[in-house]
Amino acid sequence: MRIYDISVPLSAELPVYPGDCALEITPWSRIAAGDEANVSRLTLCTHAGTHLDPPRHFNDQGITVDEIPLERLIGPAHVVEIQGVHLIGRKELERLPVKGVERLLLKTRNSRLWKEHQFCQDYSALSVEGAHFLLEAGVKLVGIDYLSIEGMDGDGSVHRTLLNGGVLVVEGLNLSEVEPGEYELICLPLKIKGGDGAPVRALLRGGGAPGAEPDFDPHTTKWPLA
């Protein structure tokens, strides 16, 4: 069973959302300088790279990242592909197998933007209408392949609609190597107490057509990695 790492590597070259603090990785101690061990200092925003938005991100009374039940972040997920669209709304989503899907990942043209070191403002995003549609469809987690699920001209309404409606948001995914279909999502954020967000290591396992038999044999301890 193949494992897809859909997280982007944290580095100083990674684009950051306008207004967020820059990501810095600097040496603290180095063996080459006579120190006992290599240690680095990491400075970053809680919404850097591939990250999770909990309700607290847009609501002072919302739950924080460390309060999210892990079962919300691990389980079946469906990747759908939407190309050639700047704003994803009801019309685009209702054509796709979305209803009844608990964890939905949106693959767009955004995944190509990770090749650019500069932040690109012209990314595909979800509309408020699209956010309401996902609530109606019963989605509990939605992910997208750039640093925000809401467009640059948004006023936070997309985030508030989703987060206040109980939908977790994962931003900054890289789905360029992932085909549409059913997978198992494993998405674990840093356990930041009171966190309004946190970087995550997100993985997809499996793939293939709906109903396809998995390659993993539950009667063996050998877990295939590729």
Spacing of C-alpha 199 from chain mean position: 9
Q: Specify which residues 27 forms β-bridges with.
A: 40
What residues have CB less than 8 Å from 26, skipping those under 6 apart? 40, 41, 43
Query: Does residue 137 sit within a domain?
Result: yes
Extract the tokens encoding 82: 């939407």
CATH, residue 69: 3.50.30.50
For residue 81, the model assigns a pLDDT of 97
Whose structure tokens read 């691990």? 74
Whether 223 has a pLDDT exceeding 60, the answer reads no
Find the Cα–Cα–Cα–Cα dihedral 105, 109, 114, 116, rounded to 10°: -160
pLDDT tens for residues 49-67? 999 999 999 999 999 999 9
**CA angle 149–153–154, rounded 5-degree value:** 50
For residue 220, the model assigns a pLDDT of 33
Query: Does residue 223 sit within a domain?
Result: no
Q: What is the pTM of this model?
A: 0.90
**Per-residue pLDDT averaged across 113-123, rounded?**
94
Query: Does residue 224 sit within a domain?
Result: no
For residue 62, the model assigns a pLDDT of 97
For residue 98, the model assigns a pLDDT of 94
Residue 157: closest CA among 179, 135, 180: 135
Query: Does residue 219 sit within a domain?
Result: no
> Which of the four pLDDT bands, split at 50, 70 and 90, describes residue 152?
very high
For residue 222, the model assigns a pLDDT of 34
Whether 172 has a pLDDT exceeding 50, the answer reads yes
**Per-residue pLDDT averaged across 123-138, rounded?**
98
For residue 39, the model assigns a pLDDT of 98
* Residue 47: active-site member: no
**Per-residue pLDDT averaged across 176-197, rounded?**
97
Percent of the chain at pLDDT above 70?
92
Neighbours of 121 (CB within 10 A): 9
> Which of the four pLDDT bands, split at 50, 70 and 90, describes residue 215?
very low
Question: Please, are residues 6 and 49 in contact by the beta-carbon 8 Å criterion?
Answer: no
Query: Does residue 225 sit within a domain?
Result: no
Buried b (16+ CB within 10 A) or exposed e, 200-211: bebbbbbbeeee
Query: Does residue 49 sit within a domain?
Result: yes
Whether 225 has a pLDDT exceeding 80, the answer reads no
**Per-residue pLDDT averaged across 19-35, rounded?**
97
**CA angle 14–111–12, rounded 5-degree value:** 5
Query: Does residue 147 sit within a domain?
Result: yes
**Domain tally, the chain:** 1
Whether 217 has a pLDDT exceeding 80, the answer reads no
> Which of the four pLDDT bands, split at 50, 70 and 90, describes residue 208?
low
**CA angle 3–5–11, rounded 5-degree value:** 160
Catalytic residue among 47, 57, 78, 159: 57
Across the chain, what does the average pLDDT equal? 92
φ/ψ of 154, rounded to 5, equals -75, 160
Whose structure tokens read 């309700």? 55
Question: Please, are residues 132 and 161 in contact by the beta-carbon 8 Å criterion?
Answer: yes
The backbone region for 79, taken as left when phi is positive above 0, alpha when psi lies in -120 to 50, beta otherwise, is beta
Tell whether the torsion through CA atoms of 205, 208, 210 and 211 is positive or negative: negative
Residues spanned by the domain of 95: 3-31+38-206
